[in-house]
Amino acid sequence: MDRMSRPNVQRGDVLLEHRPGRVDPVGMTASHPTTAPHSALGGHGHSTSDDATEAGRESVRSALGERIPAAGDLVLIFPSASYDLDALHAAAIEAAAPASVVGCTTVGAFTQDAQVPTGCVATHLVAGELAFGVCHVERDDADLAATTRDAAETARDRAGEERHDSALLLLCDGLTPDQREVARGAYEVTSAVVPLVGGAAGDDLAFAATTTFGEGRALTNGIVCVWVTSTRPIGVGVGHGWRPFSKPMLVTRAEGAVISELDGLPALRAYMSERGAALLDAESFGERAMERPIGLPNASGGYDLRQIHLTTPDGGLVLTTGVSEQSVVQVMCSDDESLLAGAREAAENAMAALDGPPEIAVVFSCCTRVGLLGDRVGQEVDEISAALGGAPAGGFYTCGEFGRVTGSSGIHNSSVAIIAF
């Protein structure tokens, strides 16, 4: 399967029909530019300039605050895909030099000060207590796991001597055929010992091309691995706020990212019979179904979420990542308060690994949560920062989240994943 195709997909259901304006909640406003609070380990900043060069430069300078970047530091950039990305990337590299720059395009981004539906958010992480190894590669769709494994190994080697704690930060093209294979390749390096966190790039829900940044390159089919090693504890947490709604159903036929049958019935028919609510009024099936994703029970007693994006002519359901045959799935439901509680849960889970409140956190929140929370979406980062003891928090809205400590596949939708230092 190539990066732009799905098997037997009805084109009328494709999320290419999304309009970026549809996902901008009422409360998603931002000034131009603003400096977010900083800490001993770094800071977040943003720019909403229409000019790509200015946006790249201003967001990085905002994240730096009064600091001068140093060799070994890491700067993450999360810009809108509508920019001239080559110009923005070049400006970010210049402003961050000699620090390394990594990142990806988004479906909007945020700091604890502002929602940034169009613009660029940047994060500066200071070397010293932290050390970083970066590897940015073009993926091989014939063996996504091997591509990711090799990149993770290289990043780990480049991070240098192992310290008290480590984590793998992972970014990938949002059109990667099966994000499950990316996580599987990462797990071959991290095993159960090193946590995984990150997200899949977006392009304002155009689903045409997303971009990753790293090692001076911008790629539309990239995977970025950042191995972080630290003299202090690193906290990784995942939460979502969804609960089971339907009876359990067995995946009786599936291939790749397509579920063809549930309980021996066409998957679409089985899903519709169990979702318990009419489809939303929207242009694509993915939008119409997003408030009723499916959940897979995991080894921790919770659920890993999967959003349904498309349907097939024979009644199949197309996801962003594969689900194995004989898996048990359930239709899930939630509400505003539960989604916000799920964000707090992610922060609390990250805090559990720390000795006290962190200095800074990077957050990966699913783009579907923007539409679901509407004008309350800004409360999500407020809840996260408060649960982290007021630590600066910022990140982007993803097309899939990576997050695993124990008991999870590491792949999530409609969830929040957090790394805190």
Q: What does the longest C-alpha to C-alpha distance in the chain come to?
A: 61
> What's the pLDDT at 408?
67
- pLDDT tens digit string along 43-96? 999 999 999 999 999 999 999 999 999 999 999 999 999 999 999 999 999 999
Least confident of 52-56, 123-127, 240-244, 277-281: 277-281
DSSP secondary structure string for all residues of 163-212:
-SEEEEEEEE-TT-S-HHHHHHHHHHHHTTTS-EEEEE--STT--S---E
Q: How far apart are CA 104 and CA 134, in angstroms?
A: 14
Q: Is the pLDDT of residue 199 over 80?
A: yes
Q: Other C-beta atoms within 10 Å of 407: how many?
A: 12
> What's the pLDDT at 21?
35
Q: How far apart are CA 414 and CA 333, in angstroms?
A: 11
Instruction: Please give the average per-residue pLDDT across 391-413, as a whole number.
Output: 92
In this prediction, residue 407 has a pLDDT band, given cuts at 50, 70 and 90, of low
Q: How far apart are CA 198 and CA 123, in angstroms?
A: 14
Tell me what the pLDDT averaged over the chain comes to.
91
For residue 165, the cross-strand partners are 230
Q: Other C-beta atoms within 10 Å of 90: how many?
A: 18
> What's the pLDDT at 196?
97
350 and 236 in contact (C-beta within 8 Å)?
yes
- pLDDT tens digit string along 287-309? 899 999 999 999 888 999 999 98
To the nearest 10°, report the CA torsion of 204, 209, 96, 147.
130
Domain 243-334, what architecture?
A: Beta Barrel (2.40)
- pLDDT tens digit string along 128-152? 999 999 999 999 999 999 999 999 9
DSSP secondary structure string for all residues of 93-154:
HHHHTTSEEEEE-BS-EEESS-EESSSEEEEEE-BTTEEEEEEEEE--GGGHHHHHHHHHHH
Chain centre to alpha carbon of residue 213: 15
6 and 257 in contact (C-beta within 8 Å)?
yes
Chain centre to alpha carbon of residue 392: 18
> What's the pLDDT at 280?
86
Per domain, the residue ranges of the chain are 21-240+337-420, 243-334
Instruction: Please give the average per-residue pLDDT across 304-327, as a whole number.
Output: 94
Instruction: Please give the average per-residue pLDDT across 201-217, as a whole number.
Output: 96
Q: How far apart are CA 114 and CA 122, in angstroms?
A: 12
Looking at the chain, the whole-number percentage of residues with pLDDT higher than 70 is 91
To the nearest 10°, report the CA torsion of 282, 286, 287, 289.
90
Q: Is the pLDDT of residue 245 over 90?
A: yes
Residue type, position 397, single letter: Y
